[in-house]
């Protein structure tokens, strides 16, 4: 069987981390977060919690990925900690629920920002069929690019991560320095919630779905471990550099939004980046930033497609997924069958989200993004809990194994992450029950495949 090429250095690895995180979240999630919490203090708290969880999670992943630098990321950690069934069912969930759905969610945001440009310039919005077609073309166009090997894809990530940082930096710089349009009272008006009770806790937990999604993807470089030079050093360093930089950018961006828009304006503007820049520069600013955000989302979709296809390949290579997915292209050394299969399922999920949106509103694709996130949040959280817990299991299982990096503040870093994620899971099951159950049922349908197909082989 062919092997991967180690064509990715620190620059490309950091670019993958940045490009995986900065996609749609920071430009699209502030509106649903603010709609749920309704005040600036809790709005800030939701983002702070998301950042803390991400940092502590990266500390744990850094140890795991330095110890096990293999393609597939979390799939590898789970397989070594809990055995093949848990690793398989997590990979099944990634493919059929969480990770492919995330590709669809960002493709929809890319289309939304094209819609924003169209609305500003032409005065009308895309209808649902147009939203579907553009999102579909985006998914398959970027899948096609990733069929030509990691070297080309790595360069693609560097270009788009640079554009992403530039776009976010422009938002921060322009919104925070436009004193004539900004208003510091936006930070203090509606600072506290009108009441504080169990409903407020549920609102914070529900809002965290969107904050976590905005920070998601930071583990992206770990999927590429077998294509990274000196992975024991490069991967942990890329996680910390990428996440640290993105966290600073997110803080600045949200401050810029709040300086230019009050609570109610953020709630009613799902294209919050466009709304803030329209305040600063008028329609021209709205068009320019919408173009930049669309480019950001476009690059993020490409990174997701690049990284996630490696998990399906790693599973198939271990005999735990569809056999055709284990084949690498003889020339480009890329898992093309896995990438194409991923694209097919993303298409099915896109159709599902569009139908659900039509049944809900019948007008446009405006709610499809939230539908996708609600669909996979509970499932993702369960497997995140298992992955974070893998550090404890593997320390007990392999006490003497070489660990080039050891998790900072362990075991407290692990305990904090597990407590917060467990609380979030309970709240998600309460506030998004039906989408969560659909996702979980689809996840555990993999049990039948595992015992009928995979166990039969053995």
**Rounded to whole angstroms, what are the CA distances from 165 to 15, 169, 300?**
10, 6, 12
The C-alpha atoms of residue 34 and residue 276 are separated, in whole angstroms, by: 15
Of the candidates 434, 448, 456, 431, the one whose C-alpha atom is nearest the C-alpha of residue 203 is 431
Structure confidence by residue, pLDDT tens digits, 337-370: 999 999 999 999 999 888 877 776 654 445 666 7
Q: How would DSSP label each residue in 100-128?
A: HHHHHHHHHHHHHHHHHHHHHHHS----H
Q: Give this prediction's pTM.
A: 0.77
Q: Which residues lie closer than 8 Å to 156 by C-beta, 6 or more apart?
A: 145, 299, 302
Strand partners, 8: 228
**Torsion angles phi and psi, residue 319, rounded to 5:** 80, 20
Domains of the chain in start order, with CATH, are 10-457 (1.20.1740.10)
Tens place of pLDDT per residue across the chain (458 aa): 456 666 677 887 787 778 778 766 788 889 999 999 999 999 999 998 888 888 888 889 888 888 888 766 788 889 999 998 998 898 888 888 888 888 888 898 889 889 888 988 888 888 888 989 999 999 999 998 888 766 655 666 677 677 778 888 888 999 999 999 999 999 998 899 888 888 999 999 999 989 988 888 777 666 666 777 877 778 788 888 888 888 888 999 999 999 999 999 999 988 898 899 999 988 888 888 888 888 878 877 887 888 778 878 878 888 888 888 888 877 777 788 999 999 999 999 999 888 877 776 654 445 666 777 888 888 989 999 999 999 999 999 999 998 888 888 899 989 999 998 999 999 999 988 988 998 899 888 888 888 887 666 65
Q: What is the pLDDT of residues 398-410, one digit of tens each?
A: 999 988 888 888 9
Could you give the CA distance from residue 450 to residue 270 in angstroms, rounded to a whole number? 41
Residue 406 has a pLDDT of 87
pLDDT digits (tens, 9 = 90+) for 56-109: 888 898 888 888 887 667 888 899 999 989 988 988 888 888 888 888 888 988
What is the Cβ-side half-sphere exposure of residue 58, based on CA atoms within 13 angstroms?
26
Secondary structure, 3-state, 274-303: HHHHHHHHCHHHHHHHHHHHHHHHHHHHHH
Beta bridge partners of 353: none
Q: Please give the distance of CA 72 from its chain centroid, rounded to a whole number.
A: 16
């Amino acid at each position: 069987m062919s092997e991967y090429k180690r064509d990715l250095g620190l620059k490309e690895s950091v670019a993958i981390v940045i490009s995986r995180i900065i996609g749609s979240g920071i430009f699209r999630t502030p509106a649903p977060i603010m709609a749920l919490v309704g005040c600036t203090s809790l709005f800030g708290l939701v983002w702070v919690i998301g950042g803390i969880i991400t940092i502590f999670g990266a500390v744990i992943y850094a140890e795991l990925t330095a110890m096990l630098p293999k393609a597939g990321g979390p799939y590898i950690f789970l397989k070594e900690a809990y055995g093949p069934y848990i690793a398989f069912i997590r990979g099944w969930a990634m493919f059929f629920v969480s990770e492919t759905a995330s590709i669809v969610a960002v493709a929809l945001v890319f289309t939304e920002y094209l819609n924003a440009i169209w609305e500003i310039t032409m005065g009308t919005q895309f209808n649902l069929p147009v939203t579907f077609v553009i999102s579909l073309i985006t998914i398959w166009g970027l899948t096609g690019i990733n069929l030509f090997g990691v070297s080309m894809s790595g360069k693609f990530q560097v270009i788009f991560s640079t554009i992403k940082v530039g776009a976010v930096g422009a938002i921060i710089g322009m919104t925070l320095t436009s004193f004539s349009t900004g208003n510091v009272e936006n930070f203090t008006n509606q600072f506290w919630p009108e009441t504080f009770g169990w409903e407020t806790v549920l609102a914070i937990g529900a809002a965290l779905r969107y904050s976590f999604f905005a920070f998601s993807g930071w583990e992206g470089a770990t999927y590429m471990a077998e294509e990274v030079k000196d992975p024991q050093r490069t991967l942990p360093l890329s996680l910390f550099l990428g996440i640290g930089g993105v966290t600073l950018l997110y803080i600045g961006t949200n401050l810029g939004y709040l300086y230019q828009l009050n609570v109610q304006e953020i709630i009613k503007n799902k294209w919050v980046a466009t709304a803030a820049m329209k305040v600063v520069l008028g329609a021209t600013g709205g068009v320019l930033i919408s173009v930049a955000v669309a480019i950001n989302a476009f690059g993020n979709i490409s990174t997701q497609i690049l990284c996630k296809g490696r998990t399906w390949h790693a599973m198939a290579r271990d005999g735990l997924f569809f056999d055709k997915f284990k084949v690498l292209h003889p020339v480009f050394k890329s898992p093309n069958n896995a990438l194409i299969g991923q694209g097919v399922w993303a298409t099915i999920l896109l159709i599902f989200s569009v139908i659900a949106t039509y049944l809900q509103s019948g007008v446009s694709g405006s709610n499809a993004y939230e539908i996708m996130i609600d669909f996979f949040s509970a499932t993702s959280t369960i497997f995140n809990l298992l992955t974070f817990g893998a550090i404890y299991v593997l320390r007990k299982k392999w006490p003497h194994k070489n660990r080039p990096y050891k998790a900072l503040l362990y075991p407290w870093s692990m305990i904090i992450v597990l407590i917060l994620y467990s609380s979030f899971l309970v709240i998600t099951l309460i506030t998004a029950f039906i989408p969560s159950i659909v996702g979980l049922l689809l996840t555990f349908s993999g049990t039948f495949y595992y015992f009928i197909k995979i166990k039969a082989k053995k």
